[in-house]
């Protein structure tokens, strides 16, 4: 049975050492993450979703997130760009993108997945997309990216709530205050999320 992959916020502002909100050690993930994605095969993977933390300066300044973190991932700025080498992903694997303005990719209503290779393709409503995955028998999702104790955590929460089995490769995830091992131990019941 194939799995789905979510790459959470693998953006320059989080992963580059000079990023606006650089996560310690995230720069060391870039090469292994790209190599791991390039090694995925179409028969094993139903698709890959890249999430993009996406902010507009005026709106961000009034948000609760601004009380914790400086401005970052401003749409269209260099720090917003992905560190994933999209060209290295097998072209037979569907590749999607999802822009979100808050920590959790599930929180905002009416978000849609876009085709990362074909901007003209019609967007796919997020909730219907994941329901269709389940209906096709895709029950496992692998989640990688940053930050383990923020956006990765809430991506996993939503997947668990929707009945997916979740795997998180620790070597492809970094946190701000807590690493993924601590998040798994402290946030989810035993066995709900598998560390790889």
pLDDT for 58 = 74
Distance CA 142, CA 161 (A): 15
Is-contact 8 1, C-beta < 8 A?
no
CATH number for the domain spanning 142: value is: 3.40.50.850
- The single residue listed with the structure tokens 């590749």 is 95
What the block records as the tokens of 91 is 């072209």
Q: How many structural domains is the chain composed of? A: 1
Q: What residues have CB less than 8 Å from 119, skipping those under 6 apart? A: none
Q: What is the pLDDT of residue 61?
A: 65
**Burial grade of 195 (CB within 10 A; 0-12, 13-18, 19 or more):** middle
User: Which residue from 64, 61, 36 is spatially nearest to 143, judged by alpha carbons?
Assistant: 36
Rg (C-alpha) for the chain, rounded Å, is 16
Compute the distance between CA of residue 71 and CA of residue 90 in angstroms, rounded to an integer.
34
pTM of the model: 0.95
Q: Is 63 exposed, middle or buried (0-12, 13-18, 19+ CB in 10 A)?
A: middle
pLDDT computed for residue 60 by the predictor: 67
User: What residues make up the domain containing 7?
Assistant: 3-195
- What pLDDT was estimated at residue 1? 54
- Chain centroid to CA 106: 11
* Each residue's pLDDT expressed in tens, for the chain with a length of 196 residues: 589 999 999 999 999 999 999 999 999 999 999 999 999 999 999 999 999 998 877 776 677 776 788 778 889 899 999 999 999 999 999 999 999 988 899 999 999 999 999 999 999 999 999 999 999 999 999 999 999 999 999 999 999 999 999 999 999 999 999 999 999 999 998 888 999 9
Three-state secondary-structure class, residue 168:
strand
């Amino acid at each position: 049975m194939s799995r789905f992959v979510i790459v959470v916020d693998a953006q320059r502002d989080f992963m580059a050492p000079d990023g606006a909100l650089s996560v310690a050690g995230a720069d060391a993930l870039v090469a292994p993450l790209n190599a791991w994605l390039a090694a995925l095969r179409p028969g094993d993977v139903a698709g890959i979703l890249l999430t993009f933390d996406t902010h507009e300066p005026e709106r961000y300044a009034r948000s609760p997130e601004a009380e914790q973190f400086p401005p970052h991932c401003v749409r269209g700025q260099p720090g917003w760009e992905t560190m994933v080498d999209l060209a290295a992903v097998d072209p037979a694997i569907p590749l999607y993108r999802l822009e979100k303005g808050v920590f959790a990719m599930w929180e905002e209503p009416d978000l849609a997945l876009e085709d990362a290779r074909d901007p003209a393709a019609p967007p796919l409503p997020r909730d219907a997309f994941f329901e269709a995955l389940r209906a096709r028998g895709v029950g496992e999702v692998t989640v990688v990216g940053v930050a383990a104790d923020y956006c990765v955590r809430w991506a996993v929460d939503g997947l668990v709530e929707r009945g997916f089995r979740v795997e998180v490769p620790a070597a492809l995830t970094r946190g701000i205050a807590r690493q993924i091992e601590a998040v798994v131990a402290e946030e989810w019941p035993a066995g709900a999320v598998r560390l790889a």
